[in-house]
Amino acid sequence: MTGRRMMPAVGIAFAAVLLVAVVGIFAVISFQAAAPERKAPPEGPAVTQPGGESPPAAGGPQPVPADCPADTITVTTAAELTAALASPEPGAVIMLADGVYRGNFRAPGAGTAEKPITLCGGSGAALDGGGPEEGYVLHLDQASYWMVQGFTVRNGQKGVMLDETTNSVIQGLRVESTGDEAIHLRRFSSDNKVIGNTISGTGLRKAKFGEGIYIGTAESNWCDISSCEPDKSDRNEIRANTVSGTTAESVDIKEGTSDGSLVGNTFDGASITEADSWVDVKGRGWRIEENTGRNSPLDGFQTHEILDGWGTENVFRNNVAEVNGPGLGYSLKPVRDNVVDCSNTASQAEQGLSNAPCTG
C-alpha cells in the first residue's frame, strides 16, 4: 500500500484519552456556570415590644414599623378575627393577613407584662366598620397588656376605643374616615401608650365630635360613663402621632385625667371647624413637650378650667406653634398654676406667644 501511513496503536490510545479529558473539563465548567448562586437566608424582622420606645426622627415623628412577633394564629376573615379576639391567652399573637375585615370587633382579655396579647398586621390589612354611623371598629374592653400594631382602622363611628384598658400600646396604626373621634381612651383607661399613629378624616358623622385623640370623659357625661365620678384615665402617653384632617381638636384632654404626657406629635388644623385649637388641656399635671402644630382657627394650645382645680399644673416646653391664625400660641385659662416655658415658640399668631409671661 502506498501514499498513506497507518497511526501506531499507542498513538491512537493516547489521542482517545486526551479527547475524554478535554470533554470532561468543558462539562465541569458548563455545570458551574449554570448552577444557581446560593444566598444566605434573610434575617427576621426586628420586633417592637410593648413599652419599647422608638424615638421620633429629627424634624418630626418617625413612623413606627409594623414588625410583629411570630404569630400563634393568622386570621384571614372577619369571623376568624372575632373568634380569635374572644378569649385570647396571655402571650397570644394574632396576625392579620392582608385583606379587609368588615365589622365591629371587641377585644377583651388580660395579658401580662411578660406575655402581652398582640394584634398585629401590615398596611395591607384593614378593619372596616362599614360607615361613619357604625359603632366602634376596634374596642379594647376591660383589657390589659395588649399590643395593637401596624394595620388600618376605618369607617366606623369611632375608630379605636379603650374602656377600662390598662398597660396597653396602640402603635403604628392608620386610623381614618371616622364619624366621630379616631382614638379614645375612656372609663379609667390608664398607663397606656398611643405611639406613632397616623390619623385623618374624622368628624364625618358630627363635626363637633371629630377629635383625633380623646382622653377621658367630659364632666357632663360622668354619670353615664364613670358612675358620676371623674373618669380617671391617668398616666397615658401620647407620642409621635401625626394628626390632620380633623374637624375638632387634634387632641382633647378632659377634666378628670391626670399626669399624662403629650410629646413629639405633629398637628395640622386646616380642617378644624368645631374647635379653636389643636390641643385643649382640661386635665391636670400634663406634660406637653416637643409638639409641632400649624394652621389653627384661633390658638395653638389651650388650657381650660371646667371644674375647680382642673386645667391646672400643666407644663408646656419646646413646642413649635405655627398658628397662621388670629389668636395665641399658648392660651392659658386659668393662667395660674400652668407653665409656658420660654423654650416654646409661636409664629404667625396675631396675639403673640402667650397670655402669660413665659418662664425660663
Per-residue pLDDT, 68: 85
Per-residue pLDDT, 51: 34
Per-residue pLDDT, 30: 39
- What's the topology of domain 82-249+256-261+271-275? Pectate Lyase C-like (2.160.20)
The total of other beta-carbon atoms located within 10 Å of residue 163's CB is: 20
Per-residue pLDDT, 25: 37
Per-residue pLDDT, 18: 36
Buried b (16+ CB within 10 A) or exposed e, 302-313: bbbbeeeebbbb
Cα–Cα dist 186/166, whole Å: 11
Cα–Cα dist 140/160, whole Å: 8
Per-residue pLDDT, 47: 33
Structural domain boundaries of the chain?
82-249+256-261+271-275, 288-360
Per-residue pLDDT, 67: 76
Write out residues in the chain with pLDDT < 50, as ranges: 1-65
Cα–Cα dist 240/170, whole Å: 12
Question: Tens digit of pLDDT for each residue in 33-68?
Answer: 333 333 333 333 333 333 333 333 333 333 333 578
Per-residue pLDDT, 92: 96
Per-residue pLDDT, 314: 98
**Cis amide bond preceding 132, omega within 30:** no
